[in-house]
Amino acid sequence: MSEGFLKEDLYKQLGATIIFSQRIIKNFLKYKKGNLILISSIQGISTPKFDHYKNTKMNSPIEYSAIKSGIISVSKYLAKYYKQKNIRVNCVSPGGIKSGQPKLFSKRYKNSCNSKGLLEGEDVAKLILFLLSEKSKYITGQNLILDDGWSL
């Protein structure tokens, strides 16, 4: 990994999340309310299961885990910083999303889960819709993990 690539990747994923959050919260303050949901990953709470990647062309680079744990930290920081400003900040950390992964990887991944294995985008969307709804109005500063038991 080159130093230049690392800097670029950290900025594009973590730095851009911070700048986006800053800009959206500025509008929330103007309207005296807001609900920000950031997206991280289970690899922000746990190390990769490297055996899942064995004999595939896939890998999980170290900066990915660092970035995703950083996004969780940013969520908690912002939730606490804007406490009592009618602004909620939460994070969703999904497991792997089905996207043409090799069968070998998918099988290994599913063996680490409860039943489904790799998620569909719709699974994550349903959780985000819940967080955007009034049903979750007292949830803030949380990292909600949606991973079919992968992290257990």
Closest CA to 81 of 152, 3, 28, 146: 28
Domains present along the chain, CATH in parentheses: 3-146 (3.40.50.720)
Active site residue 53: no
List pLDDT tens digits, range 54-82.
Answer: 999 999 999 999 999 999 999 999 999 99
Query: Taking 90 as the threshold, does the pLDDT of residue 1 lie above it?
Result: no
Q: Using CA atoms, how far apart are residues 99 and 96, in angstroms rounded to an integer?
A: 9
Q: Please list, in sequence order, all residues whose beta carbon lies within 8 angstroms of the beta carbon of residue 27, skipping any fewer than 6 positions away.
A: 34
3-state secondary structure of 102: coil
Residue, of 46 and 2, whose pLDDT is higher: 46
Give the pLDDT confidence of 129-141 residue by residue, as tens digits. 999 999 999 999 9
Residue 34 has pLDDT above 90, yes or no: yes
Q: Is 98 exposed, middle or buried (0-12, 13-18, 19+ CB in 10 A)?
A: middle
- The per-residue b/e assignment along 102-124, b for 16 or more CB within 10 angstroms, e otherwise, is eeebbebbbebbeeebbbeeebb
Average pLDDT for 18-41: 98
pLDDT at 106: 98
The residues, any chain, with a CB within 8 Å of residue 85's CB and separated by 6 or more, are: 28, 29, 32
Contacts of 53 (CB under 8 A, 6+ apart): 59, 60, 105
Whether residue 18 is predicted with pLDDT greater than 90 in this model: the reply is yes
pLDDT score, position 134: 96
Nearest CA-CA partner of 27 in 72, 85, 67: 85
Residue 45 bridge partners (DSSP): none
Flag whether pLDDT at 29 surpasses 90: yes
Of 53, 64, 81, 138, which is the active-site residue? Answer: 64
Q: What is the pLDDT of residues 72-130, one digit of tens each?
A: 999 999 999 999 999 999 999 999 999 999 999 999 999 999 999 999 999 999 999 99
